[in-house]
Amino acid sequence: MDELIRCENVSFSYENTGVIKKLSFSVCECDYLCIVGENGSGKSTLIKGLLGLKQPAEGRIIKSDSLRSGGIGYLPQQTPAQKDFPASVFEVVLSGRLSRHGFRPFYSKQDKQDAHENIKKLGIEELIKRSYRDLSGGQQQRVLLARALCAGKKLLLLDEPVTGLDPIVTEEMYKLIDELNHKEKITVIMVSHDISSSVKYASHILHLNYDKSFFGTTNDYLNSPIGRGFFSSK
């Protein structure tokens, strides 16, 4: 499989304090990578780096040319204000196409067609005219996932996509993301605090720890000192 992203000895600092130190890993097409670790280990900081929103203090991040235009879809953590956004489901999903527009001030026929296709793919056709603010947490996350698919068809970056959801809806979201990875062949990079579910679905694990991080296949992670240490403490 072709390589989409490579991080070479990357370090990040936050408020002059190092949070990630000399990290190296790569993500290939169709991988499903879960980024796990304790609070403050730099998970969200790394996502910002992969999006180009934060520059590394050291090292470099190399991206495939296929990600330069409409390749990456991003689902960030929601704020309370965003959950109360007064727009229709279709408008929210369609807004994912804005990153591809450049200076075009309008949506094309193709933009609208893609929005409809992704709404159907996420099983939310019956919500299309509903106000986003009136939806349940699980419904809102499906809408935002459809929006992310409108922004990028190659790679999804998901920052804690199941936070605040009840167990049943959480499992539905995990299965949906897994289906996008396996059936749609979309590469997934997901930040998660739920290591148990991460090892159930992910092909690769990146466990961030300032002193010694781990990157490798899920099976290798389960047999590593850091993986065994976590699960033996449960």
> How does pLDDT run along the chain (234 residues), one tens digit per residue?
799 999 999 999 877 777 899 999 999 999 999 999 888 888 988 999 999 999 999 999 999 998 877 789 999 988 777 788 889 999 999 999 887 665 566 788 999 999 999 999 999 999 999 999 999 999 999 999 999 999 988 999 999 999 889 999 999 999 999 999 999 999 999 999 888 888 999 999 999 987 788 999 999 999 998 888 777 655
Alpha-carbon dihedral 51, 56, 60, 65, rounded to 10 degrees: 20
Q: What is the predicted pLDDT for the residue at 204?
A: 97
**Scanning the structure block, which residue is given the tokens 């609208």?**
112
Angle among Cα 5, 199, 30 to the nearest 5 degrees reads 35
- 56-77: per-residue pLDDT in tens? 999 999 999 988 777 899 999 8
Q: What is the predicted pLDDT for the residue at 212?
A: 81
What token pair was written down for 231?
């699960």
Q: What is the predicted pLDDT for the residue at 86?
A: 84
Cα separation, 80 vs 87, in Å, equals 15
What token pair was written down for 85?
């956004």
Q: What is the predicted pLDDT for the residue at 146?
A: 96
Q: What is the predicted pLDDT for the residue at 227?
A: 87
Q: What is the predicted pLDDT for the residue at 102?
A: 55
Cα separation, 140 vs 98, in Å, equals 19
- 117-138: per-residue pLDDT in tens? 999 999 999 999 999 999 999 9
Question: What mean pLDDT is reported for the chain?
Answer: 90
Annotation: CATH topology of 1-71+194-234: Rossmann fold (3.40.50)
Q: What is the predicted pLDDT for the residue at 233?
A: 58
Domain map of the chain by residue range?
Answer: 1-71+194-234
